[in-house]
Amino acid sequence: MNKKTFYFLTFIFMSTMIFAATNAGVGHAVEELMAHKMTLLVFQLSIIIFAAWCGGYLFNKMKLPAVLGEIVAGMIIGPYFLGHFPIFGFLHGVFPLSSGAFPVTPELYSYATVASIVLLFLVGLETDIKTFFKYSVAGSVIGVFGVVISFIFGDVFGIIFLNYGLGQAAGFFDVLPLFLGVISTATSVGITARILSEKKKMDSPEGVTILAAAVVDDVLGIILLAIIIGIAKSGHIVLSEVSMIGAKAVGIWLVFTVLGLIFAHKISGFLKRFKDRSTITIMALALAMFLAGIFEKSGLAMIIGAYVMGLSLSKTDLSLTIQENLHSLQKFYVPIFFCVMGMLVDITQMGSATIIKYGLLYVVFAVLGKLIGCMLPALFLNFNSLGALRIGTGMVPRGEVALIIVGIGLSAGILTKEIFSVALIMTFLTTLITPPILEKLFDNPKKGIRKIEDDLDLTKEEIVYDVPSEETADLLLTNILNAFEHEGFFVHMLDMENKIYQLRKDAQIISFKYYPDRLFFDCLKSDGPFIHTLFFEVLADLENTIKNLKMLTDKEQIAKEMFAIEDDSFTNNFDLSAFISPLAMKVNLKGNTKHEILEELVNMLIVAGKIEVDVKDEVMNDLIAREESMSTGMQNHLAFPHARTEAVKNLVVGIGVTKQGVDFESLDLKPAKLFIITLAPKDSGNPYLKFISDMSQLLATYEIDELTNIETVGELYNKLV
């Protein structure tokens, strides 16, 4: 090897080593930077979730929309307030102010973006297409006028704000006034829908018209957003370009919406192949994200694609199933979105007299835009002044839709911090002032329409089945829901706490409400015979089940097993003192019948202070009802009278002994002498059956006679404890 070759190879080798070392260092640095970013993101999300929950909870307590509390929480913990202070080893704070124009990190804003897709997907799913078409004429006219007038009012405000508030020359067709016009067109009917639901006005002419108008409002607002974003990207306004942008936006939206509605049942059939409801929901969300990506690639906002997919699936029987299963994901993502929106607010700007003044002026323009734009056409569409005012007020709140548009404008670099702050004030206040005003308007019993429609709700029927007890209602509830599912219905729990269900199969929709003493169905008259048939079959199946249960011949053997001790596995370490005191024990019961013994045991618990005297009748009724279903008399002179009752809040136990014995319809037909009474609350998971089981095992270690022959309470207590 000559020297030149040696030097050349040495040079190559050294260069390779230096390059490798350099890249290793770079790779290590990249890994460290990535680890830091991910650690920061984890901390940020955890703090946001807790802060958003606290904000929402506090605002709910004040009877205000939770979304406003989540925004305020974001403002407090965000980079413009507490977020930039050093903590947890982060020198610039957990929410440092980003070096660029956007105040939060791209990683965090990406979560907000996904949240906006989930949110608009749900908005689309919640759209009632049938209601929309029923009131499509009135809803379309009101929606179009509301958008046009609101857009003009918002644009005019933008000119005033920019010229006089910020000292910037602006005209009607400049980007910033146009964007403020788009923000003003937004309508969030979530707050309005809640009021309508509480007042039971969802099916009223005003209610369905508001919901139908909101669909048009959303669609036109989103198309306007796409056009304005296109104008902003082009940097100037040329009529031909604006026309092309508008045609493209309308064309893409229209094509995908029509295709979605046409092939909705095909999409539903595809999703149903996954069978599992959770998987169906996840795949539906994946389709929404896919369409959102297509719309973004086409130059439109992602939220439009998500909305279109939700709108397509809203007409299928999977709609509420997806909504129900997305609930947890919504509870995670959506508060993050609103909290991040709050973080984008520069609090120093919000304290500016100029921002506050023009923010309040924007509220006035925004409210007037919706009231004038929606009330005027409503007056010509069979609504009187009260009905028109209800509709106009219902369209006032901007809520999450406006926030999404504002966030898009800020992230795209279109909006300044000043305009963002003013827009947030408008969004906040229009969402805040609407509920109390709308409640007052609907408290007025006067009808909102001039001519009552003859066919309004005449096809509705209410079916009520009275049931003798809550236990019976619980049993029927489970079997009824199972029967509907077997008939191909999707069962949706609309309100878990109040047990309100919607039963849906294609276009067939039945509302079902559970009460402890009755079962209530709200349906079309044509569905009545089907419901009666189904209920009759449920009763027949239950009756057959009860007959089979009565044929069981091994009840005595089961009772024996309760007292069986295998392989000396039971040791006497059951701490009875944790459940009973000597005050709740009696060794000289005088009763001669089952009823007398039960009453004497209940009186003993009252004297011991375990239950109140005014609940005696309730406790007796619950104990007797339990005895009527099956006697609690076991064998070998032992009885375990027990019941779940609303008369107690905690597990209550008492022990009584009678020398002569009482007929308690025991399994071995022997008179009962030792009674362990147990009361447990109905709405609690107190393991009273576990107590009975442990107690029976403890008693199995004694001869019953050695317990029933004891003369004093103290001796019995010491013997057992």
Output the pLDDT for position 9. 46
The answer to whether the pTM exceeds 0.75 is no
Report the Cα 273 to chain-centroid distance in Å.
26
Instruction: Give every CB contact of residue 264 below 8 A, 6+ residues apart in sequence.
Output: 312, 313, 315, 316
Per-position DSSP letters for 575-624, written without gaps between them: -GGGT--GGGEES-----SHHHHHHHHHHHHHHTTSS-GGGHHHHHHHHH
Percentage of the residues of the chain whose pLDDT score is greater than 90: 10
Q: Which residues, listed in sequence order, are joined to residue 642 by a DSSP beta bridge?
A: 678
Structure tokens at 279: 């998987």
* Amino acid identity, position 230: G
Mapping DSSP to helix (H, G, I), strand (E, B) and coil, where does residue 132 land?
helix
Q: Which residues pair with 495 in a beta bridge?
A: 500
Kindly report the number of other CB atoms within 10 A of residue 258's CB atom. 12
Residue ranges for the chain with pLDDT beneath 70? 1-33, 88-89, 98-102, 127-136, 189-191, 193-204, 215, 233-243, 245-246, 249, 299-301, 400, 451-460, 492-498, 506-507, 549-574, 683-687
Token duo for residue 636? 């070998």
* Helix intervals (H) in 516-569: 528-550, 555-562
Residue from 394, 338, 415, 411 nearest 118 by CA: 338
The answer to whether the CB of 52 falls within 8 A of the CB of 336 is yes
Instruction: Take residue 113 and report the two structure tokens written for it.
Output: 């973006």
Q: Which CATH architecture has domain 106-443?
A: Up-down Bundle (1.20)
Beta strands at 652-662 and 672-681: parallel, antiparallel or unpaired: antiparallel
- Two structure tokens written together for 502: 């919607």
What is the chain's length?
721
CB 434 within 8 A of CB 391: no
Tens digits of residue pLDDT in 459-509: 667 888 988 877 788 888 888 888 887 887 777 665 555 677 777 776 677
127, 191, 184: which is closest to 439 by C-alpha? 191
CA distances from residue 196 to 102, 193, 211, 375, 401 in whole angstroms, order as listed: 38, 5, 10, 18, 19
Task: Tell me if 87 sits within 8 A of 94, measured CB to CB.
Answer: yes
User: What is the rounded distance in angstroms from the CA atom of residue 634 to the CA atom of residue 624?
Assistant: 16
DSSP 464: E
CA 484 – CA 385 distance, rounded (Å): 44
308: region left, alpha or beta (phi > 0 left; psi from -120 to 50 alpha): alpha
**Maximum distance among all alpha carbons in the chain?**
121
Burial of 700-716, coded b for 16+ CB within 10 Å and e otherwise, reads eeeebeebbebeebeeb
CB 370 within 8 A of CB 187: yes
Cβ count near 168 (within 10 Å): 12
Q: Please count the CA atoms within 13 angstroms of the CA of 538 that sit on its side-chain side.
A: 22
Q: CB of 626 within 8 A of CB of 643? A: yes
pLDDT value at residue 674: 92
pLDDT at position 658, please? 92
How is residue 418 written in tokens?
A: 């000043």
What are phi and psi for residue 52, nearest 5 degrees? -65, -40
Structure tokens at 557: 């053997």
Q: How high is the pLDDT of residue 407?
A: 76
Give the separation between CA 590 and CA 600, rounded to whole angstroms: 8
Tell me whether residue 521 is exposed, middle or buried, using C-beta atoms within 10 angstroms of its C-beta: 0 to 12, 13 to 18, 19 or more: buried
pLDDT of residue 22: 44
The helix or strand, by DSSP H or E, that contains position 271, with its residue range, turns out to be: helix 264-272
Q: Give dist(CA 565, CA 499) in Å, integer.
A: 42
**Cα–Cα distances in angstroms (integers) from residue 322 to residues 277, 606, 661, in the given order:** 8, 51, 60
CB atoms within 10 A of CB 40: 20
* DSSP secondary structure of 427-453: HHHHHHHHHHHHHHHHHS-S-SBSS--
How many C-beta atoms surround the C-beta of residue 346 within 10 A? 21
Pair of tokens at residue 104: 């939060």
Residue 226: which of 262, 256, 253, 265 has the closest Cα? 253
Across 649-684, b (16+ Cβ under 10 Å) vs e yields eebbbbbbbbeeebebebbeebebbbbbbbbbbeee
Q: How far apart are CA 686 and CA 638, in angstroms?
A: 23
Residues ≥6 apart with Cβ < 8 Å to 459 = 524, 525, 526
Q: Which pLDDT score, from 0 to 100, does residue 601 have?
A: 93
Question: CATH says 574-720 is which class?
Answer: alpha beta
Rounded CA separation 452/475 (Å): 42
Which top CATH class is 460-550? alpha beta
Beta strand 638-639 pairing with 672-681: parallel
Start-end of H helices in 62-105: 66-77
User: How far does the chain reach from its first CA to its final CA, in angstroms?
Assistant: 98
pLDDT at 368: 93
Q: Please give the pLDDT value at position 630.
A: 79
CA 309 – CA 284 distance, rounded (Å) = 8
Nearest to 252 by CA among 284, 215, 298, 297: 298
- Phi/psi of residue 115, nearest 5 degrees: -60, -40
Asked if residues 221 and 185 have their Cβ atoms less than 8 Å apart, the reply is yes
Domain residue ranges in the chain = 3-84, 106-443, 460-550, 574-720
Instruction: Tell the burial category of 265 from Cβ atoms under 10 Å away from its Cβ (0-12, 13-18, 19+).
Output: middle
Count of C-beta atoms within a 10 Å radius of residue 208: 21
